[in-house]
Amino acid sequence: MTSQNHPLTQQSGIVLLEALLAILVFSLGVLALVGLQATAIKQSTDARYRSEASLLANDVISQMWVSNRTTATLQANFNTGGTAYNTWLARVISTLPGVAANSATAPTIAIDGQGIATVTLFWRAPNEPAGTTPHNFVTIAQIR
């Protein structure tokens, strides 16, 4: 038996090219997963702040329900600047990021003459610049 010499074909190196393309596709997939993970972390952090804002608003409304529920007393204690408001404000500042007592992100409570309380909370996530519009949560309850 004699061996035959086959001339080199035009496809030399194609396996290397396929391997490089496979590595490129895999790398893009990994980068996409890293991006998805970062987005998921941001969304879960935002959800945490929203749930904390809801808890704080419901807490102050619960305090209104168990207090003396006359409109004058509610307004004196819970309207922005009242004694119960100031105690609650300290909890809000320690819980939500980017909240300051005398700023655009200060929470507000307004109680009208019919005992309808409007609680508004504002916050900015730690990674958001100061010029951005703050997140907010508003809840309204009738206190009787």
- The domain spans of the chain are 14-142
Q: How many angstroms separate the CA atoms of 74 and 92, rounded?
A: 19
Q: What is the pLDDT of residues 37-54, one digit of tens each?
A: 999 998 998 999 999 999
Strand-pair category, 135-142 with 116-123: antiparallel
Contact between 49 and 135 under an 8 Å Cβ cutoff? The reply is yes
pLDDT at position 131, please? 82
pLDDT surpassing 70 at residue 128: yes
Amino acid at 72: A
pLDDT at position 2, please? 64
pLDDT at position 102, please? 80
pLDDT surpassing 90 at residue 93: yes
pLDDT at position 78, please? 94
Quickly list DSSP for 6-36. Answer: PPP-TTTTHHHHHHHHHHHHHHHHHHHHHHH
Average pLDDT value for residue range 32-39: 95
Identify the residue with better confidence: 53 or 132. Answer: 53
pLDDT at position 103, please? 81
pLDDT surpassing 70 at residue 24: yes
pLDDT classification of 105: cutoffs 50, 70, 90:
confident
For CA atoms 80, 81, 85, 86, the dihedral sign is positive
Q: Which residues of 3-40 are buried (b: 16+ CB within 10 A; e: fewer)?
A: eeeeeeeeeeeeeeeeeeeeeeeeeeeeeeeeeeeeee
Q: Nearest CA to 56 among 117, 119, 140?
A: 119
Contact between 134 and 125 under an 8 Å Cβ cutoff? The reply is no
- Torsion angle, CA of 116/119/120/126, rounded to 10 degrees? -170
pLDDT surpassing 80 at residue 143: yes
State the pTM of this model: 0.76
